[in-house]
A and B are shown apart, each in its own frame.
Chain A
Amino acid sequence: NAGVMQNPRHLVRRRGQEARLRCSPMKGHSHVYWYRQLPEEGLKFMVYLQKENIIDESGMPKERFSAEFPKEGPSILRIQQVVRGDSAAYFCASSPREGSNQPQHFGDGTRLSIL
């Protein structure tokens, strides 16, 4: 499968725990986007990363959320001290290069549930 791979597909955490969501972009893609989808809503942009660089994190909550895309390995979205409101589907997308005409290919998401 050469698509965008996200894991885990489902993640359950208790309030106060940490959640780590992983995204492996499509082969040859070096640009990663993270989006959050609340129930019955559209996707909301969170952050855009290139290898080892955060380019735009204007959609990320200021506290508890962080993202990285290291030189080797998947992109990680990290949520510390999770709260009930963090329950959502988190989608990762990748594109091969920069440019507004580069289509984004989405993974199947991680469904995060907070108990």
Chain B
Amino acid sequence: QQQVKQSPQSLIVQKGGIPIINCAYENTAFDYFPWYQQFPGKGPALLIAIRPDVSEKKEGRFTISFNKSAKQFSLHIMDSQPGDSATYFCAASKDTGFQKLVFGTGTRLLVSP
């Protein structure tokens, strides 16, 4: 029940394409869903986050879509660039007073020139 399942494991798109990464969760107590970007040798960096009271959130070229009834959320990267090549992690936490993040297993994205 604490798991967050992420797919696909890896993804290759051409420059300008729209990669989509999906995550699913079981625990309905989760109420905070962030996405992190990680480059090799670096720590995860927060990209964008969403709460269940909205179905979509956009920040720049990054969009989260959230489907509360299906317990699924996804990340879309518009007009993807080679510099977006990285590993992306979804995560979830519940309102316990602090963020005890449960991470997905990651998606390795390669954007070809």
Which A residues have a C-beta under 8 Å from some C-beta of B? 4, 6, 31, 33, 35, 40-45, 48, 55-56, 58, 91, 93, 95, 98-109
Q: Give the interface residue-count category, chain B.
A: 20 to 34
| A-B CB proximity, top 3 nearest | A42-B103, A106-B43, A100-B95
- Of B95, B99, B101, which is within 8 A of A43 by CB? B101
Contacting residues of chain B (18-54) with chain A, CB-CB under 8 angstroms: 31-32, 34, 36, 41-46, 49
- Of B42, B99, B100, B105, which is within 8 A of A42 by CB? B105
- Structural contact, A106 and B31, CB atoms closer than 8 A: no
- Structural contact, A108 and B32, CB atoms closer than 8 A: no
- Of A40, A42, A45, A102, which is within 8 A of B89 by CB? A42
Contacts of B106 in A (CB 8 A): 40-42
Contacts of A40 in B (CB 8 A): 105-106
Known: A41-B106, A42-B106, A44-B103. A108 touches B42 (CB 8 A): yes
- Structural contact, A100 and B101, CB atoms closer than 8 A: no
Q: Is B102 an interface residue (CB 8 A)?
A: yes
A104 nearest CB neighbor, chain B only? B99
- Structural contact, B45 and A100, CB atoms closer than 8 A: no
Contacts of B34 in A (CB 8 A): 103
